[in-house]
């Protein structure tokens, strides 16, 4: 039996997974990644961990997902703010230690590829995977292939501009999709409304423990028909509807899959989302579209990387 190895390389931890041909994770280890003086030393550490993981298994290929701007063709991490890297030939460094072909890809793309392979129905060709969490990330599969674009930068769906006068985004622009959907933005929106004195069941929680205002709690209150909490999710759904409407017109995908913590709000998001989508005039690309929320997918970053 042959296996593949996937590495999800983040700023604090790397997750390494040994994946079977049936796309199951058979072994998994984590390695801390912070505090390495240079990339070569971290690659050596990852190489050592990888060798332990692969012991006794016939491995065909290694894939790595890294947060940042990646030159996938040459296996180079152009910039990774989380790792503090610039122009690191990660593919080459890992190949030296692992004696395997190494594919390097952006982590959002790797995760999207994993979701596509494990959660999209067979023969699905055009799929957009959106991670709704602290940030909003994306990965685009067209004609069954990951669409990377000219410099591997494709899929930055979270920074489509929904309202150019909208809230300030971490990226520096205003009104990106992420500012209407990302967890910290939802919390800030609620806190501002509560500070302004809006009536809501969340006021009691906020006065007792402001830190307890989380997307999870906002969803709980929305299910109890709290007006402020409902407005938050209607706003999330509407912004996603705006973005997905544009994506449907541009790319005409058959499936959008949501993953990430925010996506767990489920119908609180999907109902207003479809309400917005259904206002679009051209019906064919909207009717061709399905939207689903991914099943729980632990280690999807490493799994997806293994399938690159």
Q: How far is the CB of 9 from its own copies (least distance, A)?
A: 19
- Please count the other Cβ atoms lying within 10 Å of the Cβ belonging to residue 5: 26
Residue 174 beta carbon to its own copies: minimum distance, rounded to whole angstroms: 10
Helix, strand, coil percentages, rounded to 5, for the chain:
45, 25, 30
Measure CA 161 to chain center.
Answer: 18
Phi, psi of 217 (to 5 degrees): -65, -40
Residue environment code for 155-191, b if the CB has 16+ CB neighbours within 10 A, otherwise e: bbbbbbebeeebbebeeeeebbbbbbbbbebbbebbe
Nearer to its own copies, 58 or 284 (CB): 284
| 303, 22 contact by CB (below 8 A) | no
- As to burial, measured by CB atoms within 10 angstroms (0-12 exposed, 13-18 middle, 19+ buried), residue 18 is buried
Choice between 178 and 206, CB closer to its own copies: 178
- C-beta closer to its own copies: residue 16 or 169: 169
Least distance to its own copies, CB of residue 281, Å: 4
Closer to its own copies by CB, 204 or 281: give it: 281
Rounded to a whole number of angstroms, the minimum distance from the CB of residue 245 to its own copies is: 7
> What gap in Å lies between CA 200 and CA 172, rounded to an integer?
31
What is the Cα–Cα distance from 129 to 120, expressed in whole angstroms? 10
Binding region for its own copies (CB under 8 A): 69, 78, 125-126, 138, 140, 142-143, 145, 147-157, 159-161, 164, 169, 171-173, 242, 245-254, 279-282, 284-285, 288-289
Q: With respect to its own copies, which residue has the nearer C-beta, 139 or 215?
A: 139
Closest approach of its own copies to the CB of residue 84, in Å? 18
- Taking the complex as a whole, the smallest distance from the CB of residue 62 to its own copies amounts, in Å, to 25
Write down the H helix ranges in the chain.
39-54, 90-98, 107-119, 178-181, 183-195, 202-208, 215-223, 227-251, 267-277, 283-287, 300-306
Q: How far is the CB of 249 from its own copies (least distance, A)?
A: 4
Residue 171 or 195: the one with the smaller Cβ distance to its own copies is: 171
Closer residue to its own copies (CB): 46 or 141: 141
Q: What is the DSSP string of 184-236?
A: HHHHHHHHHHHHTT---THHHHHHH-GGG--HHHHHHHHHTT-HHHHHHHHHH
Q: How far is the CB of 100 from its own copies (least distance, A)?
A: 27
219 vs 244, which CB is nearer to its own copies? 244
């Amino acid at each position: 039996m042959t296996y593949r190895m996937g590495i999800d390389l983040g700023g604090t931890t790397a997750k390494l997974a040994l994946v079977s041909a049936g796309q199951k994770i058979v072994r998994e280890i984590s390695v801390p990644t912070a505090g390495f003086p240079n990339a070569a030393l971290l690659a050596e550490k990852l190489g050592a961990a990888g060798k332990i993981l692969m012991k006794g298994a016939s491995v065909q290929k290694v894939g790595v997902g890294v947060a940042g701007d990646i030159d996938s063709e040459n296996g180079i991490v152009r910039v990774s703010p989380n790792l503090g890297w610039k122009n690191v030939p990660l593919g080459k460094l890992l190949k030296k230690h692992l004696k395997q072909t190494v594919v390097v890809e952006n982590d959002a793309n790797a995760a999207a590829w994993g979701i596509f392979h494990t959660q999209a129905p067979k023969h699905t060709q055009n799929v957009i995977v959106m991670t709704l969490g602290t940030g909003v990330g994306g990965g685009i599969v067209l004609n069954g292939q990951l669409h990377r674009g000219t410099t591997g930068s494709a899929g930055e769906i979270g920074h489509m501009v929904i309202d150019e006068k909208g809230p300030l985004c971490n990226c520096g622009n205003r009104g990106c999709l992420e500012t209407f959907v990302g967890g910290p933005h939802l919390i800030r929106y609620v806190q501002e409304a509560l500070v302004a004195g809006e009536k809501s069941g969340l006021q009691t929680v906020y006065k007792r423990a402001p830190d307890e205002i989380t997307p999870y709690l906002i969803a709980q209150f929305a299910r109890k028909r709290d007006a402020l909490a409902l407005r938050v999710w209607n706003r999330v759904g509407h912004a996603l509807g705006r973005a997905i409407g544009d994506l449907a017109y541009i790319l005409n995908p058959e499936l959008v899959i949501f993953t990430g913590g925010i996506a767990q709000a489920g119908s609180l998001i999907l109902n207003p989302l479809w309400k917005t989508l259904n206002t679009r005039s051209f019906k064919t690309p909207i009717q061709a579209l399905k939207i689903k929320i991914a099943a729980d997918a632990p280690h999807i970053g490493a799994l997806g990387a293994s399938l690159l």
